[in-house]
């Protein structure tokens, strides 16, 4: 079956400012909100997991590709959305998590990684071989030829696995591919001083050309037209203090290049678009960045909503003190006990680091919310608010947008509904920009 994501290219090349946002999250609240929004809006939904979230060993989520797919499909069934509206993607698939190994071992691991993603039915594959492995010269830039050679090797595996999958599932959707990785490391910048520069047109073209050559050399001409996007840096980045805002003037030469006849079957993919305004997001789509990745921006909204509910619980005199949850405290305790997911990202003295653990736009807390002790406090918070009810005055104080919807009868005054609606505030900004209901 043809991949509907190719329609983005068709729309873009016809001069239509249509794209799609990519929901890069494994958080259940985020996924439920995204699925419900797609159902309500009757548009295709793209959900992606990264190589460190989900891999053949379970990643940090504990899920292998098939597990993640089953998880999403279970939620889709509960939301009652047509599963054919949901497209699954794999992000930064390559030797990302095994760079300490030499090429032979690292690439064997990466081959197994892409094998499992395609075998599970993922239909958007980002081939990312831009990182150095143990036997690469640490003092020399990794060449475009090496990156492309390794990427084509993974593409060959993907194509072989898809052909095998067709024998079992004749209606399997054909995968599309994204190449390039002109972005910060997955997870975002680690320092306020990390430099971010717009991709030069000549670098984009060199990447494209080297990948094209590598695909042809590997006998992959039949799937070259399935390469629909190349990752570039248009000048955006989410970071601890918010984001670097899109400036279309700085990206003008880059975005003009994608309109050249040679690239009539290609669009750009933009990573780290979190916290851009909906108008800047629309400018990105208008300028040829047809796929907008968002991750921390969605989990930030989730965390923000839970904090609001925790404050409502704290201030409600009807809930006995001894019964109240301690979600905020439990989350910070979990982060302090294990610093590995935030220490490289949050800098400053202890007071500043404590503040960032709670409120940073980078939202490193997303790695901890699912831990058992933290989840237990969240479950207790939700149970209390469901049992005692949510005071309207406190709802107005801490979640004013949701308060208005509750008063108008558009939203249930229940913690689960309030959390998902807060996440949808962010989703709605992306769908305003992408107009993906037109795909």
Tell me the three state secondary structure of residue 309: helix
Kindly report the three-state secondary structure assignment for every residue of 66-85.
HHHHHHHHHHHHHHCCCHHH
The pLDDT of residue 191: 53
Nearest to 236 by CA among 278, 282, 280, 266: 280
Residue-by-residue pLDDT tens, the chain, 439 positions: 789 999 999 999 999 999 999 999 999 999 999 999 999 999 999 999 999 999 999 999 999 999 999 999 999 999 999 999 999 999 999 999 999 999 999 999 999 999 999 999 999 999 999 999 999 999 999 999 999 999 999 999 999 999 999 999 999 999 999 999 865 445 445 555 456 799 999 999 999 999 999 999 999 999 999 999 999 999 999 989 899 999 999 999 999 999 999 999 999 999 999 999 999 999 999 999 999 999 999 999 999 999 999 999 999 999 999 999 999 999 999 999 999 999 999 999 999 999 999 999 999 999 999 999 999 999 999 999 999 999 999 999 999 999 999 999 999 999 999 999 999 999 999 999 999 999 9
Nearest to 16 by CA among 410, 438, 350, 426: 438
Task: Name the strand (E) or helix (H) holding 13.
Answer: helix 6-13
Tokens of 313: 């619980």
The pLDDT of residue 410: 98
Using an 8 Å Cβ cutoff, are 227 and 267 in contact?
no
The pLDDT of residue 181: 82
Task: Kindly state the DSSP code that residue 261 receives in the 8-state scheme.
Answer: G
Integer angstrom CA distances of residue 322 from 46, 98, 307, 332, 372: 43, 47, 19, 20, 21
């Amino acid at each position: 079956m043809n991949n509907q994501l190719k329609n983005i290219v068709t729309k873009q090349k016809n001069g239509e400012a249509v794209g799609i946002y990519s929901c890069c999250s494994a958080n259940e609240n985020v996924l439920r909100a995204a699925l419900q929004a797609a159902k309500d809006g009757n548009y295709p939904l793209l959900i992606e997991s990264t190589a460190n979230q989900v891999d053949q060993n379970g990643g940090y989520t504990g899920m292998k590709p098939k597990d993640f797919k089953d998880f999403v499909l279970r939620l889709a069934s509960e939301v009652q959305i047509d599963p054919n509206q949901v497209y699954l993607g794999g992000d930064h698939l390559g030797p990302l998590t095994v760079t300490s190994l030499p090429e032979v071992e690292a690439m064997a691991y990466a081959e197994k990684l892409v094998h499992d993603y395609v075998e599970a039915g993922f239909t958007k594959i980002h081939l990312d071989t831009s990182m150095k492995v143990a036997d690469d010269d640490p003092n020399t830039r990794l060449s475009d030829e090496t990156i492309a050679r390794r990427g084509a090797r993974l593409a060959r595996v993907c194509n072989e696995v898809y052909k095998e999958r067709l024998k079992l599932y004749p209606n399997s959707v054909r995968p599309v591919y994204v190449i390039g990785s002109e972005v910060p490391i997955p997870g975002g910048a680690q320092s306020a001083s990390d430099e971010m520069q717009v991709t030069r047109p000549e670098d984009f073209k060199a990447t494209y050309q080297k990948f094209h050559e590598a695909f042809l050399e590997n006998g992959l001409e039949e799937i070259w037209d399935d390469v629909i996007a190349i990752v570039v840096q248009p000048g955006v980045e989410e970071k601890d203090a918010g984001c670097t805002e899109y400036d279309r003037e700085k990206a003008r030469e880059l975005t003009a290049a994608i309109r050249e006849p040679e690239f009539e079957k290609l669009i750009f993919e933009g990573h780290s678009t979190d916290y851009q305004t909906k108008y800047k997001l629309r400018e990105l789509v208008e300028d040829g960045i047809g796929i907008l990745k968002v991750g921390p921006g969605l989990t930030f909204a989730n965390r923000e909503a839970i904090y609001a509910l925790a404050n409502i619980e704290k201030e409600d005199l009807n809930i006995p003190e001894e019964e109240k949850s301690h979600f905020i405290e439990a989350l910070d305790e979990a982060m302090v006990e294990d610093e590995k997911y935030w220490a490289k990202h949050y800098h400053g003295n202890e007071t500043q680091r404590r503040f960032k653990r709670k409120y940073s736009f980078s939202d490193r807390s997303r790695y901890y919310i699912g831990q058992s002790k933290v989840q237990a406090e969240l479950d207790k918070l939700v149970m209390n608010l469901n049992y005692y009810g949510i005071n309207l005055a406190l709802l107005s104080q801490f979640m004013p947008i949701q308060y208005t919807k509750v008063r108008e009868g558009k939203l249930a005054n229940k913690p689960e509904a309030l959390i998902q609606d807060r996440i949808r505030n962010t989703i709605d900004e992306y769908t305003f920009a992408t107009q993906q209901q037109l795909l």
